Amino acid sequence: MASSVHSSHSNASVLIFLFVSAILGSLSKVVLAGNFYKNVEITWGDGRAQILDNGKLLNLSLDKASGSGFQSKNEFLYGKFDMKLKLVPGNSAGVVTAYYLRSQGSSWDEIDFEFLGNLSGEPYIVHTNVYSQGKGDREQQFYLWFDPTANFHTYSILWNPGHVVFYVDGKPIREFKNLEPFGVPYPKNQSVRIHSSIWNADDWATRGGLVKTDWIQAPFISSFKDLRTNACVWSNGVSSCSSNSTSDAWRLSQELDSTSQKRLKWVQRKFMVYNYCTDINRFPHGLPLECTVTTKS
Ligand SMILES: *[C@@H]1O[C@H](CO)[C@@H](O)[C@H](O)[C@H]1NC(C)=O
Ligand SMILES: *[C@@H]1O[C@H](CO)[C@@H](O)[C@H](O)[C@H]1NC(C)=O
Ligand SMILES: *[C@@H]1O[C@H](CO)[C@@H](O)[C@H](O)[C@H]1NC(C)=O
Ligand SMILES: *[C@@H]1O[C@H](CO)[C@@H](O)[C@H](O)[C@H]1NC(C)=O
Q: Kindly list the structural domains of the chain, giving each domain's residue range(s) and its CATH number in brackets, ordered by start.
A: 30-292 (2.60.120.200)
What pLDDT band is residue 127 in, cutting at 50, 70 and 90?
very high
What pLDDT band is residue 295 in, cutting at 50, 70 and 90?
low
Ligand 3 neighbourhood includes 59 CB (under 6 angstroms): yes
In this structure, the residue with its CA closest to atom 5 of ligand 3 is 223
Average pLDDT over residues 218-234: 96
Is the pLDDT assigned to residue 262 strictly greater than 50? yes
Percent of the chain exceeding pLDDT 90 equals 81
Q: Which of 75, 114, 175, 290 is catalytic?
A: 114
pLDDT for 115 equals 98
Nearest Cα neighbor of 169 from 203, 193, 144 is 144
pLDDT for 242 equals 73
Is the pLDDT assigned to residue 243 strictly greater than 90? no
User: What pTM, to 2 d.p., does this model score?
Assistant: 0.86
Q: Distance between CA 126 and CA 277 in Å, rounded?
A: 17
pLDDT digits (tens, 9 = 90+) for 40-65: 999 999 999 999 999 999 999 999 99
Is the pLDDT assigned to residue 169 strictly greater than 80? yes
Please report which ligand is nearest the Cα atom of 224: 3
What pLDDT band is residue 206 in, cutting at 50, 70 and 90?
very high
Is the pLDDT assigned to residue 165 strictly greater than 50? yes
Average pLDDT, the chain: 89
Residues facing residue 165 across a β-bridge: 158, 175
Lowest mean pLDDT among 185-189, 225-229, 239-243: 239-243
CB 47 within 8 A of CB 80: no
CB 214 within 8 A of CB 95: no
CB 42 within 8 A of CB 68: yes
Is the pLDDT assigned to residue 70 strictly greater than 50? yes
pLDDT for 31 equals 36
What pLDDT band is residue 33 in, cutting at 50, 70 and 90?
low
Ligand 4 neighbourhood includes 244 CB (under 6 angstroms): yes
> What is the length of the chain?
297
CA of 221 to the centre of ligand 3 (A): 7
CA of 243 to the centre of ligand 4 (A): 8
Calculated CA dihedral for residues 26, 28, 34, 38, nearest 10 degrees = 160
